[in-house]
């Protein structure tokens, strides 16, 4: 039963939210309690998976591969844990960070449908079901990104929607073709079929569709254009939520598929992954360096850092895989934290534009610290989480003798440092520009519910870094499961 | 034959998406949606005139029946596709109403540095 | 021993909590922490004399080879004593110096964190741990250098220092990882003592170069040297600390530490002396052309660092010994001089040596302290500097392969050093003119206690070098050379070749000083003509170049035209797709289109025609209706092929879509002719490529079946267990009910989303 909680809890919350209509107080109360409950459930699930191994539940009681199977292995459990943790913090921030109007139009409802989609995608053991949850997630994100109907939002929304739909279509087409060839939808069954068949290479063309479907969602090169066009348009709370979850679900999908189906990775896939990863890293980081809007700098960096994760997948050793997962989790924490601090900066100064703000460090040293932690984590400064992510990836890369890609990753991390320092320099160190007086509507004291999540995220990058060893142990275990799909297959298909 | 029709629908969808008109964008999405559904349907193999109805205790004839699973998938996909198309339509309508723009080449405000 | 680090980090926290009524004692209170550590470390001198190496280890990330593993030996101890000893006086000095600055709370936090990181660096017994502290010193020094961040040049310098050292740091990290892979361990004691022959390994050269990148950038070796003069933008206590015992010495420490692991090869003995030697010369030369007192000192630091590198590169016992002594010498006098420079600036309002002068009479104590330090810098007896220089000369004369070269350059740079020392003494303290902005008077004792003690230590050690050699240099030598050595230092070596060189150096320096009126303008002119390349500007320009490229790249990548984004996307789909299709030879699997009844063909034709009509129609209404026809056509196909439910749903949805479309149609824009013919053809080709690929895929999937579908189960169990005879429905509501749940959710979101979209700005 607890296997289905990541879907059931948001479902329950959504129903409750529907019942209270547009009463903002209740929407907030139920919304945030639901997010907390989801986090607790994820903790419980993680604990159970650690104790008992892969959790499998057959929806409706139909045996696999015929019914829909929900599977939570260590990877899923970790993803659930970190995403619900971050989402909860973003939820707390949203209490004040999202305006009343958007709350009235059910921000929290879409928040929870999004979580439902994300949770569903993490636990689906069935490829079509995974598609359905992807759609739930994507549809929620469509609404969230346009929630407020401001011109910029609509415009970003059009691009976001169109290109994400392409991803969905490709994914769906891939499912149809795979079913046509193998006659099954169950991930484990499918993996077994592919393994037992000597015609695996015939699958490659269908996998291309999956690869591109996930690639669009994960925003890798050359499919990332939707992200920088749209991520800076909604309120920063929503961007933070997206940064934490959406692209990472795409990466999750890719990792899941590659480990289940591309068993002994062939040069075609490996080269494709590594080349695209390198291009994604480089182009993302370069475009970020040229920006002057905090949100856009951070958005472009999402792309660059997705490149790191794909690179880890491309190295394809268990260690590199674990490193990629570690990097992903670090990124969820740090990126969300950085975006939310961006929100605080905007609250204080009224702008995201680096050229029109400044002098923050003199007056708000704590705000400085809260930015410094996630920003330096992103730049990979020890002992914050980003350093360990980078270190593990370098190690994985050298172990596999992928010297060039690894060298590119190292170079990219310096440019990342440069971008982060640029924000620091312009927003915090530089004296506030004199000719631009700060808007009078913004001298307000920052709300505690906005500061606390930011502080928690900032310090969590430190804690995550300091306990990197423990996490890496768990992740290597998770990667072992990924590298040996037999375990997964056996858990799912074993007779009840 | 049906494969070719699918291809034609894809071609049309892609072509429409590459136009600059807001309306054609939506038409393109509808075409791609239909094309994808059809692709799923045909790639699973088709059986003519044998709907998957099981009469009472009539399990022995199941071998010749049409595969019901892809039908169920396509049905789900159609409905999801409808939700998406409706939302996209509303989005483009709203955008047009707010800005009066119909040329997608004008929609690049958010990519300005 | 490992607790000493923690004490400094805790002190950083405590510094925030010191109540304001104790504000007047803050620096003194805080100085107790490093001083305590210093005294505690002193007690280890007899211990390491007996057992060369003390290790402490606690597991941290044991599986990854990263533990909280610390070591104390002669080398670490030497550095640790310098760091905490000088750190003590820096804090006392800062207490007074920073009095009128605002935000000093942060300053003390940075300084103590920096000190702790530096101590951690020299005590780490694990390469990765060492790197962690290495980067921490980088970040905390970034904050220190940028302390006066309201000035733009300060910010630029801080960023340059950070980027350059981080760049090197990352190279070093890569080197460490490679080293770890090659040797199987990150533990320094294992690397040093164990018999792992890294120098024989195929990766030796890359490892060496990467690690040298880290050491060179941190220790400001040419061409990374430029960040160091910029770093003097920091408040003087920081400069004094960074330039003397810490930060810039980290590279030296690293190479000394790794000497038993990596040295002894031709690469080591070529690359390092070459870089070190040129840095030494360039630094000394550039020092002469400066006018800013702190800049002069900064360039002499570069020169001294070059000298240290050179010695480490020469790699003989004598050279290492010389390096160790010179390290101490330099830390003592450079710390002193930077603090003196700060005092002078405080009292006169300037650091320009053209304006300064005559301070000997106004600030006698400061002058006396400065002179002691300058004597050491010039390498004159009876200072420790003399002892060091003698050994260094000896080492250079005996250097293998390159003795002539290094001796010559060594003498030249030392002549410059003598000259600079005399020059500073004359210009700042003894010249009769004074054009400063304030009337100078002697500083309070806070300002001269620290430098005074450091200078005196230089004198005392010069007088009693034997003890230094026995208790500190010898244990350090033992671990570096990995053999038991006897170090016996003397102030006086007798009249020998080395003494002659010393004499020559002094005479040279004095002569050059006397000719300064001719030479300095000449140097400055030469400098303008040939060396008018300011590396920091070059670096800025380099960054600007990258930015320009980045902006260019952004314009190409993120131009805003959605159809181009889509075009790239579709082209990628087509390219990758066709590549795979052709790779798998889909035509061999079968192109059999199958036999189709004529009515299906007819419907197919209708669909195609309606599609074409939609594409090329100029009327919105017609386009929508023909799109509806396509939808209905598909519904009929579903119907023919036994999918009744599908057909019904398709009809319903198609009707709804068309209806909604028609409702808003007149509020939507007309079709305008927007594209040229060429772009239409191009788009057509792309579309055909995608469509063709999909056709190929469909054909392939139809004719390929690896496994019999799972659906029989549904047919067999649908009635008995799902209680329905329409199996599609049973699947939807029972077998795959979860899909349906998701589907309903999507519809719900879409509905509420449309409501929010359209209504939100009306409320």
DSSP state of C726: B
pLDDT > 70: percent of chain C:
97
Cα–Cα distance measured from residue A282 to residue A297, given in angstroms and rounded to the nearest whole number: 14
Contacts of C162 in chain A (CB under 8 A): 417, 421
Q: Single out the residue of C422, C289, C436, C432 nearest to residue C356, CA to CA.
A: C436
Number of domains in chain B: 1
CATH of domain C562-705: 1.20.120
Q: Could you give the ipTM of this predicted complex?
A: 0.93
Contact with chain A for residue B30, Cβ under 8 A: no
A193 and A294 co-located in one domain? no
C726 beta partners: B53
* pLDDT tens per residue, range C522-560: 877 777 766 656 777 788 888 888 888 888 888 888 888
Residues A172 and A72 in one domain: yes
Interface A:C, Cβ pairs < 8 A: 283
A39: closest CA of chain C, how far (Å): 21
Q: The domain containing residue A316 runs over which residues?
A: 266-485
Which of C570, C695, C736 lies at the smallest CB-CB distance from B14? C570
Query: Which chains border B (3 or more CB–CB pairs < 8 Å)?
Result: A, C
Residue B66, chain A, CB below 8 Å: the answer is no
Residue A393 lies in a domain: yes
C668 touches chain B (CB under 8 A): yes
Three-class SS of residue C636?
helix
Residue B57 lies in a domain: no
Q: How much is the pLDDT for A440?
A: 45
Q: Do A162 and B17 touch (CB under 8 A)?
A: yes
Token pair 């080879």 is at which residue? C65
CB-facing half-sphere around the CA of A113: CA atoms within 13 A: 32
Taking the CA of residue A231 and the nearest CA in chain B, the distance in Å comes to 9
Integer Cα distance of C429 and C123 in angstroms: 40
Burial (CB count within 10 angstroms: exposed 0-12, middle 13-18, buried 19+), residue C467: exposed
Q: Which of C570, C679, A156, C668 is nearest to B108 (CA)?
A: A156
With an 8 Å Cβ cutoff, are C560 and B109 in contact?
Answer: yes
Strands C66-72 and C54-61: antiparallel
Domain shared by A231 and A301, yes or no: no
CA distance C56 to C4: 12
Please give the pLDDT value at position B107.
78
Distance (Å, rounded) from C-alpha B23 to C-alpha B105?
13
pLDDT in the model for residue C553: 82
Q: What sign has the CA pseudo-torsion C147, C152, C157, C158?
A: positive
Residue A390: inside a domain:
yes
pLDDT tens for residues A275-321? 999 999 999 999 888 888 999 999 999 999 999 999 999 998 899 99
Pick from C642, C683, C688: CB nearest B52: C642
CA–CA dist C434, C422 (Å, integer): 18
Domain assignment present for A496: no
Helices C3-17 & C104-123 angle (0-180, nearest 10): 180
Shortest CA gap C285–chain A (Å): 32
**Cα separation, C545 vs C145, whole angstroms:** 25
- Give B108's contacts in chain C (Cβ within 8 Å): 559-562
Average pLDDT over residues A240-266: 87
> Each residue of A350-377: pLDDT tens digit?
888 888 888 888 888 888 999 999 999 9
Reported as a single tens digit per residue, the pLDDT across A188-225 is 888 888 877 766 666 777 888 999 999 999 999 889 99
A479 CB contacts (<8 Å, ≥6 apart)?
A318, A319, A321, A322, A325
Same domain, A6 and A106: yes
Which chain C residue shows the shortest CA-CA distance from B46?
C641
C697:A223 CB<8 A = no
Q: Which of C158, C186, C557, C703 to mutate to test the interface with A (most CBs of A within 10 A)?
A: C557
Q: What is the CATH number of the domain that holds B20?
A: 1.10.287.3510
Q: List chain A residues with CB under 8 Å of B75.
A: none
A493 falls within a domain: no
Q: DSSP state, A433? A: P
Model confidence pLDDT, tens digit, residues C677-714 = 888 889 999 999 999 888 888 887 777 766 677 777 77
Angle at CA A409, nearest 5°, toward A403 and A410?
A: 90
Asked if B82 and C657 come within 8 Å (Cβ–Cβ), the reply is yes
B69 and chain A in contact, CB less than 8 A? yes
- Please check whether residues A104 and A199 belong to one and the same domain: yes
The string of pLDDT tens digits covering residues C383-403 is 888 888 888 888 888 887 778
Residue C591 to residues A2, A209, C588, C594, Cα–Cα distance (Å): 48, 21, 8, 9
- Percentages (nearest 5) of helix, strand, coil residues in chain B: 75, 5, 25
Domain count, chain A: 2
Closest CA to C180 of C91, C65, C28: C65
What pLDDT was estimated at residue C661? 85
Which parts of C263-402 fold into alpha helices (H)? 266-288, 293-314, 317-348, 359-362, 364-378, 384-397
CA angle C146, C147, C149 (to 5 degrees): 65
Q: What is the pLDDT of residues A391-407, one digit of tens each?
A: 999 999 999 999 999 99
Question: Lowest-confidence range among A402-416, B52-66, C165-179?
Answer: B52-66
Give A353's DSSP letter.
B
Comparing CB atoms, the residue among B3, B6, B51 nearest residue C644 is: B51
Subunit contact C702:B84, Cβ cutoff 8 A? no
Residue B8 falls inside a structural domain:
yes
Residues of chain C with pLDDT under 70: 529-533, 586-595, 668-669, 672-674, 705-707, 722, 763
Over chain A, what is the mean pLDDT?
90
> Which bin fits C463, alpha (ψ -120 to 50), beta or left (φ > 0)?
alpha
Residue A492 inside a domain? The answer is no
Residue A112 lies in a domain: yes
* C149-193 pLDDT per residue, tens: 888 889 988 999 999 999 999 999 999 999 999 998 999 988 888
Question: Are residue A302 and residue A355 in the same domain, yes or no?
Answer: yes
Of A128, A165, A172, the CB nearest to B29: A165
Give mean pLDDT, residues A372-383: 93
Q: What is the pLDDT of residues C616-646, one digit of tens each?
A: 888 888 888 899 999 999 999 888 888 888 8
Smallest Cα–Cα separation from A308: which of A383, A417, A205, A389? Answer: A389
Give the mean model confidence (pLDDT) for residues A1-24.
91
Contact B60/C at CB under 8 A: no
Task: Inspect the interface and report whether the beta carbons of C174 and A407 lie closer than 8 Å.
Answer: yes
C 673-712 → A contacts, CB under 8 A: 694, 697-698, 700-702, 704-711
Most confident of A48-62, A452-466, C280-294: A452-466
CA distance A206 to chain B (A): 12
**Domain parsing of chain C, residue ranges:** 285-291+332-514, 562-705, 707-763
DSSP H helices, C101-235, are: 104-123, 127-145, 152-183, 188-193, 204-218, 227-230
Report the residue from B6, B62, B104 with minimal CB separation from C698.
Answer: B6
> What number is the average pLDDT over the span A369-391?
93
Clarify whether residues A454 and A320 are in a common domain: yes
The model's pTM is 0.93
Residue A441 has pLDDT above 50, yes or no: no
Q: Which domain holds residue B90?
A: 2-46+66-111
Per-residue pLDDT, averaged over B102-113, amounts to: 76
């Amino acid at each position: 039963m607890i296997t289905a909680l990541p879907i059931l809890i948001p479902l329950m919350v959504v129903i409750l939210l529907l019942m209270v209509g547009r009463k903002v107080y209740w929407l907030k109360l139920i919304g945030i309690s639901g997010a907390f409950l989801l986090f607790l459930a994820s903790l419980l699930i993680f604990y159970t998976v650690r104790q008992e191994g892969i959790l499998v539940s057959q929806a409706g009681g139909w045996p696999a591969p015929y019914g829909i199977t929900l599977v939570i292995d260590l990877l899923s459990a970790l993803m659930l844990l970190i995403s619900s943790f971050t989402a909860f913090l973003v939820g707390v921030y949203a209490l004040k960070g999202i305006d009343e109007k958007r709350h009235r139009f059910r921000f929290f409802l879409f928040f929870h449908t999004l979580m439902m989609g994300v949770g569903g995608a993490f636990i689906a053991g069935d490829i079509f079901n995974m598609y359905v949850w992807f759609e739930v997630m994507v549809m929620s994100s469509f609404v969230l990104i346009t929630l407020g109907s401001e011109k910029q939002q609509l415009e970003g929304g059009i691009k976001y929607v169109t290109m994400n739909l392409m991803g969905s279509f490709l994914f769906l087409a891939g499912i149809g073709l795979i079913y046509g060839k193998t006659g099954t939808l169950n991930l484990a069954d499918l993996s077994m079929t592919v393994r037992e068949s000597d015609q695996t290479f015939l699958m490659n063309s269908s996998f291309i569709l999956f690869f591109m479907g996930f690639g669009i969602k994960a925003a890798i090169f050359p499919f990332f254009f939707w992200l920088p066009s749209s991520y800076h348009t909604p309120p920063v709370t929503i961007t933070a939520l997206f940064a934490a979850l959406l692209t990472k679900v795409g990466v999750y999908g890719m990792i899941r598929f590659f480990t289940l189906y591309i068993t002994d990775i062939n040069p075609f896939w490996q080269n494709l992954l590594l080349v695209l990863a390198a291009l994604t890293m480089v182009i993302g980081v370069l475009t970020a360096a040229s920006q002057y809007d905090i949100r856009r700098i951070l958005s472009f960096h999402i792309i660059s850092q997705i490149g790191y994760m794909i690179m880890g997948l491309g190295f394809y050793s268990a260690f590199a895989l674990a490193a990629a997962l570690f990097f992903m989790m670090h990124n969820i924490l740090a990126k969300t934290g950085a975006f939310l601090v961006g929100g605080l900066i905007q609250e204080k100064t009224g702008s995201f534009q680096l050229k029109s703000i400044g002098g923050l460090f003199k007056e708000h040293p704590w705000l400085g610290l809260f930015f410094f932690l996630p920003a330096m984590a992103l730049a990979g400064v020890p002992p914050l989480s980003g350093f360990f992510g980078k270190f593990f990836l370098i190690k994985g890369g050298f172990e596999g003798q992928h010297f060039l890609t690894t060298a590119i990753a190292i170079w990219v991390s310096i440019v990342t440092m440069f971008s982060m320092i640029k924000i620091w320099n312009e927003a915090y160190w530089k004296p506030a520009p004199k000719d631009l007086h700060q808007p009078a509507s913004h001298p307000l004291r920052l709300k505690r519910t906005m500061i606390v999540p930011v502080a928690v995220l900032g310090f969590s990058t430190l804690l995550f870094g300091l306990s990197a060893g423990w996490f890496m142990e768990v992740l290597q275990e998770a990667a072992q499961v990924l590298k040996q799909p037999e375990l997964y297959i056996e858990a799912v298909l074993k007779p009840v | 034959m049906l494969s070719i029709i699918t291809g034609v629908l894809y071609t049309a969808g892609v072509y429409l998406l590459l136009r600059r008109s807001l309306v054609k964008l939506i038409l393109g999405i509808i075409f791609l949606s239909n094309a994808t559904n059809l692709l799923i349907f045909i790639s699973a193999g088709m059986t003519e005139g044998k709907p998957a109805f099981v009469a009472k205790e009539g399990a022995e004839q199941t071998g010749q029946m049409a595969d019901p699973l892809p039908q169920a998938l396509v049905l789900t996909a159609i409905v999801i596709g409808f939700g998406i198309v409706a939302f996209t339509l509303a989005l483009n309508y709203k955008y047009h109403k707010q800005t009066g723009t119909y040329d997608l080449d004008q929609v690049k405000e958010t990519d300005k540095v | 021993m490992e607790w000493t680090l923690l004490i400094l980090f805790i002190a950083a926290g405590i510094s925030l909590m010191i109540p304001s009524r104790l504000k007047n004692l803050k620096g003194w209170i805080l100085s107790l922490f490093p001083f305590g550590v210093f005294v505690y470390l002193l007690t280890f001198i007899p211990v390491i004399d007996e057992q060369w190496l003390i290790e402490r280890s606690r597991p941290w990330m044991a599986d990854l080879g990263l533990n909280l593993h610390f070591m104390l030996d002669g080398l670490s101890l030497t550095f640790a004593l310098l760091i905490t000893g000088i750190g003590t006086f820096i804090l006392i000095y800062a207490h007074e110096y920073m009095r009128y600055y605002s935000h000093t709370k942060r300053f003390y936090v940075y300084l103590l964190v920096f000190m702790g990181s530096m101590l951690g660096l020299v005590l780490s017994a694990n390469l990765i741990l060492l790197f962690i502290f290495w980067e921490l010193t980088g970040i905390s020094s970034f904050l220190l250098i940028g302390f006066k961040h309201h000035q733009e040049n300060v910010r630029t310098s801080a960023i340059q220092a950070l980027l350059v050292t981080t760049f090197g740091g990352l190279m070093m990290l890569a080197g460490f990882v490679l080293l770890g892979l090659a040797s199987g361990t990150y533990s320094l004691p294992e690397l040093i003592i164990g018999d792992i022959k890294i120098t024989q390994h195929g990766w030796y050269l890359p490892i060496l170069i990467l690690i040298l990148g880290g050491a060179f950038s941190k220790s400001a070796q040419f061409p990374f040297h430029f960040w160091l003069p910029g770093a003097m933008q920091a408040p003087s206590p920081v400069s004094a600390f960074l330039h003397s015992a810490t930060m810039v010495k980290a590279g030296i420490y690293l190479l000394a530490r790794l000497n038993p692991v990596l040295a002894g090869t031709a690469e080591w003995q070529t690359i390092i002396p070459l870089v070190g030697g040129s840095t030494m010369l360039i630094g000394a030369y550039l020092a002469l052309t400066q006018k800013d007192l702190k800049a002069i000192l900064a360039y002499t630091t570069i020169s001294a660092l070059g000298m240290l590198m050179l010695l480490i590169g020469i790699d003989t016992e004598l050279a290492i010994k010389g390096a160790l002594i010179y390290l101490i010498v330099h830390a003592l006098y450079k710390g002193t001089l930077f603090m003196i420079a700060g005092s002078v600036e405080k009292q006169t309002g300037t650091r320009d040596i053209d304006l300064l002068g005559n301070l000997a009479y106004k600030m006698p104590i400061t002058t006396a302290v400065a002179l002691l330090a300058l004597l050491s810098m010039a390498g004159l007896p009876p200072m420790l500097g003399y002892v060091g220089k003698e050994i260094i000369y000896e080492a250079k004369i005996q250097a293998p392969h390159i003795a002539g070269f290094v001796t010559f350059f060594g003498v030249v740079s030392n002549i410059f050093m003598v000259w600079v020392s005399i020059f500073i003494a004359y210009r700042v303290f003894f010249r009769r003119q004074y054009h400063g902005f304030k009337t100078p008077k002697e500083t309070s004792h806070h300002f001269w206690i620290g430098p005074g003690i450091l200078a005196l230590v230089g004198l005392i050690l010069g007088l009693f070098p034997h003890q230094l050699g026995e208790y500190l240099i010898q244990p350090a030598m033992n671990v570096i050379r990995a053999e038991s050595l006897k170090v016996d230092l003397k102030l006086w070596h007798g009249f020998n070749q080395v003494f002659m060189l010393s004499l020559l150096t002094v005479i040279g320096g004095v002569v050059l000083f006397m000719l300064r009126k001719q030479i300095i303008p000449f140097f400055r002119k030469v400098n303008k003509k040939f060396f008018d390349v300011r590396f920091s500007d070059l670096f800025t320009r380099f960054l600007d170049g990258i930015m320009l490229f980045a902006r260019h790249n952004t314009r190409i990548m993120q131009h805003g035209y959605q159809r181009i984004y889509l075009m790239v996307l579709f082209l990628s789909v087509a390219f990758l797709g066709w590549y795979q299709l052709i790779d798998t030879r889909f035509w061999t699997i079968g192109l059999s289109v199958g036999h189709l009844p004529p009515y299906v063909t007819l419907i197919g034709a209708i669909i195609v025609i309606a599609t074409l009509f939609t594409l090329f129609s100029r009327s919105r209404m017609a386009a929508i209706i023909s799109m509806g026809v396509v939808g209905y056509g598909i519904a009929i196909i579903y119907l023919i092929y036994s999918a009744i439910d599908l057909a019904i749903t398709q009809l319903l949805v198609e009707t709804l879509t068309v209806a909604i479309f028609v409702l808003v149609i007149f509020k939507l824009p007309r079709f305008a002719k927007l594209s040229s013919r060429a772009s239409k053809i191009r788009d057509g080709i792309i579309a055909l490529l995608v469509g063709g690929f999909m056709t190929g895929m469909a054909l392939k999937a139809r004719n390929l079946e690896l496994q019999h579908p799972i659906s029989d189960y549904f047919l067999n169990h649908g009635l008995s267990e799902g209680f329905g005879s329409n199996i599609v429905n049973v699947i939807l509501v029972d077998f795959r009910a979860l899909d349906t749940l998701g589907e309903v959710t999507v519809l719900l979101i879409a509905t509420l989303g449309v409501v929010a979209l359209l209504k939100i700005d009306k409320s």
